[in-house]
Chains A and B, each alone.
Chain A
Amino acid sequence: DLGIIGDNISASTPNSGGMHDQSYNLQMLEAAYYRLPQPKDSERAKTYTPRHPAATPPSYPQVQAPIVNNPAFWERLGADTYGTDTLFFSFYYQQNTYQQYLAARELKKQSWRYHRKYNTWFQRHEEPKVATDDFEQGTYVYFDFHIASDEQHGWCQRIKTEFTFEYSYLE
């Protein structure tokens, strides 16, 4: 029902059904070449759906406060002595959000590096003993979660000596 494929002559016959001649087509194509769709033209603002939403009373705000998407807010958290817990909290519990990106950026500013194999953040505790193009070796602090007892647990930082951080795992 789609009809036969017109042979290649009819297609380039000028003004047959609104067709143009080749030089016009080439001209328009060249103009379009400088207005290519950009990756962002296909991207949509991600609507964040919490993976493990904490049940809260209806009186609590049901949507996130806009300030969590404000870079200045995270720079403030990163700079002040609030420590890094909030940054790590946002990184792990607000995944695929802009604030996760902002928190990660602040952690990097404090020279934390994300290790893709161990899925955690490392920070040099001192200058590495060995450093090559492919890896560095030394003593690191890494961000961890420890359970001392049922009551006593929380996010903590541990020391790891003789650790090799291969750059192929650096996110």
Chain B
Amino acid sequence: DFDPAGFSEQVSALFTEWYQICELPGANDAACARHVSLLQQRGLLKGDEMTDRFFRRIMELSVSHCLSSETLSFLAIDIYAKLVFSVLKFFPADQGSSKLSLLPKVLAVTVKFILKDAEERKASFNPRPYFRLFVNWLLDLCSLDPVFDGANFQVLTGLANAFHAIQPLKVPGFSFAWLELVSHRSFMPKLLTANAQKGWPYFQRLLVDLFQFMEPFLRKVQLGEPVHFLYKGTLRVLLVLLHDFPEFLCDYHFSFCDVIPPSCIQMRNIILSAFPRNMRLPDPSTPNLKIDLLPEITQSPRILSEVDAALKAKQIKNEVDEYLKTRQQGSAFLTELKQKLLLSPNDVERAGTRYNVPLINSLVLYVGMQAQQLQAGHAQSMANMSAFLVSAALDIFQTLIMDLDTEGRYLFLNAVANQLRYPNNHTHYFSFILLYLFHESNQETIQEQITRVLLERLIVNRPHPWGLLITFIELIKNPRYSFWSRSFTRCASEIEKLFESVSRSFG
């Protein structure tokens, strides 16, 4: 509904006054503080509907001023950003509300404004005024002076929520600006280091927002220029995370693999190659490397994603638990399992596959983790894998590898290979599972497919996860698998050359 009569003129006059204050040379905190209390006296900063109208009107003025000239002028946007910063800085905090109580209100007005503008303007939506507005806030609010003692985290999460609300799936026309803001050096590092990793879930959600937007385009490998540009920008951000915050990628690898399409091998390898900074990885091609003697190999990796969420959503978690516990022979669980992993027909088109990939990922990792916990209960040394030979988990994996069709088996093997990372007991267990399935399956097509899943992750440009390398080296070196005698290793001359070059390059 419309603003009260005369409201718009009143706000314009106040904004003009604010502009004149900003134009005064030299710092003018006193003048700023006076203006903020004037706004408060006019009842414009109560945090009620009038507050929303006030900031929305100023936003209208600033954006239209910015877009009024061919070469965008950020003058009005900058002083609007400064007004918000000054309101937060000089707003007299009464007992109840904290200094920053208005920030979520202002951000909510900003988000609604952007959503509406983008919906109305569609392809002629211009993201740059809003980009500039947020950059101002990132530079001012995120490098807060002590007056906001420790309120940085509220600011960071407020901005993170705002970015989530205008994520690319909601405002595709803001995608490039959005990624630059989310990865901004005044924002991303602070959100990932503030308050002992409490910001991690917020940033994980933003990364998932990005992957979910790109997923349908990345699945079809031919990328148009805009998507390729966004993809390269994403790689840069992931490389900064890999270099500076590897633990973040380690701990959330599971949810990222859910939303990265299987065709995005290198991007997924970046995430799977992350390892804790305090860890030294032994060179995988070290002769006679004793993996099971590594101290880290018996430690569980930290996984912050909800591994069993998809199982619960599909309501099959109880059946899985039941089978793992009782291993009831002849139960319908195993025979019906494949059917449960299929998508309903009308979801196939959108997902680009007949299978529910997050469900397969969840089933594989959850079953593997349960098997290890069960085993740990028997206090056997976790390193030696023979204890796993007789287990419900193995029944499930062998059923899947036998029952699934080529596509289903590929997705299942991918879910297993996604656990081949830095030295930990998941890497060790799933490496054992892959090699065991290779050895036990008497169908060469399955052996070939296992090889393919490993190989396609190795022939892409670096980085390559440590667990992947040691598994492949074990497969081609250990005579137990008589790898080189398999016909598929010589099915064509270039394949033969490929295997030789890969095995040479990995020692």
Please report the C-alpha to C-alpha distance between residue A25 and residue B226 in the assembled complex, in whole angstroms: 11
Specify which of A4, A24, A33, A42 is in contact with B229 (CB 8 Å cutoff).
A33
Q: Which chain A residues lie closer than 8 Å to B201 at the CB level?
A: 1-2
A26 adjacent to B351 (CB under 8 Å): no
Q: Which chain A residues in 9-55 approach chain B with CB under 8 Å? A: 9, 11-13, 17-20, 22, 24-33, 35-38, 41-42, 44
Please report the C-alpha to C-alpha distance between residue A63 and residue B25 in the assembled complex, in whole angstroms: 8
Q: How many residues of A contact B (CB 8 A)?
A: 35
Please report the C-alpha to C-alpha distance between residue A20 and residue B201 in the assembled complex, in whole angstroms: 25
B356 within 8 A of partner (CB): yes
Specify which of B125, B205, B310, B313 is in contact with A28 (CB 8 Å cutoff).
B125
A32 adjacent to B350 (CB under 8 Å): no
Assuming the contacts A5-B305, A12-B350, A41-B74, asked whether A18 and B170 have C-beta atoms less than 8 A apart, the reply is yes
Chain B residue nearest to A44 (CB atoms) is B139
Q: Which chain B residues lie closer than 8 Å to A9 at the CB level?
A: 343, 347, 350-351, 356
Q: Which chain B residues in 272-312 approach chain A with CB under 8 Å? A: 305-306, 309-310
Q: Which chain A residues lie closer than 8 Å to B309 at the CB level?
A: 4-5
Chain B residue nearest to A47 (CB atoms) is B27
Q: Closest CB-CB distance, A59 to chain B, in whole Å?
A: 16
A37 adjacent to B128 (CB under 8 Å): yes
Chain B residue nearest to A36 (CB atoms) is B176
Binds A, one of B47-55, B207-215, B237-245, B455-463: B207-215
A119 within 8 A of partner (CB): no
Chain A residue nearest to B135 (CB atoms) is A42
B351 adjacent to A28 (CB under 8 Å): no
Please report the C-alpha to C-alpha distance between residue A160 and residue B129 in the assembled complex, in whole angstroms: 53
Q: Which chain A residues lie closer than 8 Å to B126 at the CB level?
A: 35
Q: Closest CB-CB distance, B219 to chain A, in whole Å?
A: 9
B224 adjacent to A26 (CB under 8 Å): yes
Q: Closest CB-CB distance, B218 to chain A, in whole Å?
A: 11
Please report the C-alpha to C-alpha distance between residue A1 and residue B170 in the assembled complex, in whole angstroms: 21
Specify which of A29, A37, A63 is in contact with B230 (CB 8 Å cutoff).
A29
Q: Which chain B residues in 161-197 approach chain A with CB under 8 Å? A: 168-177, 180
Q: Which of B124, B169, B356 has the most chain A CB within a 10 Å cutoff?
A: B169
Assuming the contacts A9-B343, A41-B131, asked whether A32 and B175 have C-beta atoms less than 8 A apart, the reply is yes
Please report the C-alpha to C-alpha distance between residue A33 and residue B173 in the assembled complex, in whole angstroms: 8
Please report the C-alpha to C-alpha distance between residue A12 and residue B229 in the assembled complex, in whole angstroms: 21
Assuming the contacts A8-B358, A12-B350, A26-B217, asked whether A31 and B123 have C-beta atoms less than 8 A apart, the reply is yes
A29 adjacent to B172 (CB under 8 Å): yes
Please report the C-alpha to C-alpha distance between residue A1 and residue B202 in the assembled complex, in whole angstroms: 10
Please report the C-alpha to C-alpha distance between residue A11 and residue B173 in the assembled complex, in whole angstroms: 17
Please report the C-alpha to C-alpha distance between residue A87 and residue B170 in the assembled complex, in whole angstroms: 53
Specify which of B124, B204, B226 is in contact with A30 (CB 8 Å cutoff).
B226
Assuming the contacts A11-B169, A28-B172, asked whether A5 and B259 have C-beta atoms less than 8 A apart, the reply is yes
Chain B residue nearest to A19 (CB atoms) is B169
Assuming the contacts A8-B358, A11-B169, asked whether A37 and B131 have C-beta atoms less than 8 A apart, the reply is yes
A7 within 8 A of partner (CB): yes
Q: Closest CB-CB distance, A139 to chain B, in whole Å?
A: 46
A149 within 8 A of partner (CB): no
A132 within 8 A of partner (CB): no
Q: Which residues of B contact A (CB under 8 A)?
A: 25-26, 74, 78, 115, 118, 122-128, 131-132, 135-136, 139, 168-177, 180, 201-202, 204-205, 208, 212-213, 215-217, 224-227, 229-230, 255, 258-259, 261, 305-306, 309-310, 313, 343, 347, 350-351, 356-359
A sample of 6 cross-chain residue pairs with beta-carbon separation below 8 angstroms, ordered by A number, consists of A1-B201, A7-B359, A8-B357, A9-B350, A12-B212, A31-B122
Known: A28-B123, A28-B172. 20 other contacts (CB 8 A): A2-B204, A2-B205, A4-B306, A4-B313, A7-B310, A8-B261, A9-B343, A9-B351, A11-B169, A11-B212, A12-B169, A12-B350, A26-B224, A30-B226, A31-B123, A32-B127, A35-B126, A37-B176, A37-B177, A37-B180
